[in-house]
């Protein structure tokens, strides 16, 4: 059985650590002044983080790899009459969001491959009536990252590796596309561990100078063996060892929201297990295609991998 962590790392605490290090490096002001400045900045950041957690919705950033919050038209008579929404044939999370015009909000994950411009959300209301809502995708350019992988087989896999990779990709995509319905709300997320963000989401990647798929998650660097915690409640849908991802856990948080943890040294949970926010799920490792120990953390909405930093009020460094 898993144990709950006594301490849940939050983005606010991570930001405070950074602020204190930055303020400590300012030599123009005295030590006392630096201490006061650190405390004031940290209190402000923690207050903002608490306010953002009170409203669990992710940030609205309608770009490739981002999340669009789209208000659905009309009221329904009952809170249980949730309209269904679809984007690119995938069911989309709909949450309660009472405004003057509407009771419902779609939380739409936008694939990294989406072209900027007008997109369409297809709606079916509780009576079965179909309609559509347009929304705009804005452009975003992501930086390049060039990495050297010493195990050349992980850059140019052998034929038998390719068969394994195709099989594993199907399994992972199926887990990302799995729909578990729960109450229409977006869960609060904490960070799965404390560490430096070593690679932000969306980087256009080159392995040994060969172009490969963009970075579909957030890398958090930490020593091997560092505990990894579930950032929100859910059900473990998949655990296993994969060619690129190494030891991997996928957690289904319901309503199309799924998260994945890769390159682990150990896995402490089993498929089908219910986890809470803060449940210990494994340890940081360097299994699979890596240049050093880190956690690769992916978040998926309606089967689109999105920037995990959008689940927090502040932008992750380098995003």
Chain residues in the site for Zn ion (CB under 5 A): 217, 219, 296
Nearer to Zn ion, 92 or 263 (CB): 263
**Joined tokens for residue 136:** 């705009």
Nearest residue to Zn ion, by Cβ distance, number only: 296
Find how far residue 96's CA is from the centre of its chain. 21
Q: Are strands 304-306 and 280-284 parallel, antiparallel or unpaired?
A: unpaired
- The distance of closest approach from Cβ of residue 306 to Zn ion in the complex, given in angstroms and rounded to an integer, is 14
Nearer to Zn ion, 140 or 286 (CB): 286
Establish how many alpha carbons lie within 13 A of residue 175's alpha carbon, considering only the half-sphere containing its beta carbon. 26
- The distance of closest approach from Cβ of residue 263 to Zn ion in the complex, given in angstroms and rounded to an integer, is 8
Nearer to Zn ion, 219 or 307 (CB): 219
- Report the alpha-carbon angle 191-235-181, nearest 5: 105
- The distance of closest approach from Cβ of residue 259 to Zn ion in the complex, given in angstroms and rounded to an integer, is 13
C-alpha 193/C-alpha 221 separation (Å) is 9
Establish how many alpha carbons lie within 13 A of residue 72's alpha carbon, considering only the half-sphere containing its beta carbon. 30
Q: Which of 258, 210, 242, 257 has the alpha carbon at shortest distance from 92?
A: 257
Which of helix, strand or coil describes residue 42?
A: helix
- The distance of closest approach from Cβ of residue 212 to Zn ion in the complex, given in angstroms and rounded to an integer, is 12
Establish how many alpha carbons lie within 13 A of residue 113's alpha carbon, considering only the half-sphere containing its beta carbon. 4
Nearer to Zn ion, 90 or 216 (CB): 216
Q: Are strands 144-147 and 204-207 parallel, antiparallel or unpaired?
A: parallel
Nearer to Zn ion, 184 or 217 (CB): 217
- The distance of closest approach from Cβ of residue 199 to Zn ion in the complex, given in angstroms and rounded to an integer, is 6
Nearer to Zn ion, 168 or 219 (CB): 219
C-alpha 218/C-alpha 270 separation (Å) is 23
- Report the alpha-carbon angle 225-231-237, nearest 5: 85
- The distance of closest approach from Cβ of residue 308 to Zn ion in the complex, given in angstroms and rounded to an integer, is 11
> Which secondary-structure segment (H or E) carries 34?
helix 31-54
C-alpha 36/C-alpha 291 separation (Å) is 40
Nearer to Zn ion, 253 or 296 (CB): 296
- The distance of closest approach from Cβ of residue 290 to Zn ion in the complex, given in angstroms and rounded to an integer, is 8
- The distance of closest approach from Cβ of residue 241 to Zn ion in the complex, given in angstroms and rounded to an integer, is 17
Residues 6+ apart with CB under 8 A from 168: 240, 242, 243, 244, 245
Nearer to Zn ion, 83 or 282 (CB): 282
Residue that is written with structure tokens 């890769």 in the block: 262
Residues in the chain: 319
């Amino acid at each position: 059985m898993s144990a709950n962590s006594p301490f849940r790392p939050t983005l606010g605490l991570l930001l405070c650590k950074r602020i204190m290090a930055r303020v400590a490096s300012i030599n123009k002001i005295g030590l006392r002044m630096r201490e006061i400045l650190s405390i004031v900045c940290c209190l402000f950041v923690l207050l903002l983080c608490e306010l953002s957690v009170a409203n669990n919705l992710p940030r609205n950033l309608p770009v490739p790899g981002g999340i669009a919050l789209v208000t659905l038209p009309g009221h329904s008579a009952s809170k249980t009459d949730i309209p269904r929404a679809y984007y690119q044939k995938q069911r989309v999370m709909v949450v309660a969001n009472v405004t003057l015009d509407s009771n419902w909000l779609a939380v739409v994950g936008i694939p990294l491959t989406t072209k900027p411009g007008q997109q369409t959300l297809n709606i079916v209301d509780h009576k079965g009536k179909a309609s559509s809502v347009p929304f705009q995708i804005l452009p975003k350019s992501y930086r390049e990252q060039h990495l050297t992988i010493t195990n050349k087989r992980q850059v140019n896999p052998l034929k038998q590796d390719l068969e394994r990779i195709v099989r594993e990709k199907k399994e992972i995509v199926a887990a990302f596309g799995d729909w578990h319905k729960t109450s229409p709300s977006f869960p609060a997320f904490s960070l799965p561990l404390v560490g430096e963000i070593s690679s932000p989401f969306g980087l256009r990647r080159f392995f040994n100078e060969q172009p490969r798929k963009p970075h579909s998650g957030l890398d958090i660097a930490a020593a091997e063996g560092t505990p990894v915690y579930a950032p929100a409640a859910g059900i473990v849908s998949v655990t296993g060892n994969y060619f690129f991802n190494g030891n991997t856990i996928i957690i289904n948080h319901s309503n199309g929201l799924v998260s994945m943890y890769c390159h682990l040294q150990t896995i402490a949970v089993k498929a089908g297990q219910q986890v809470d926010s803060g449940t210990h799920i494994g340890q940081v490792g360097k299994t699979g295609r890596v240049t050093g120990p880190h956690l690769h953390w992916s978040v998926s909405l309606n089967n689109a991998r999105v920037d995990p930093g959008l689940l927090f009020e502040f932008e992750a460094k380098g995003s």
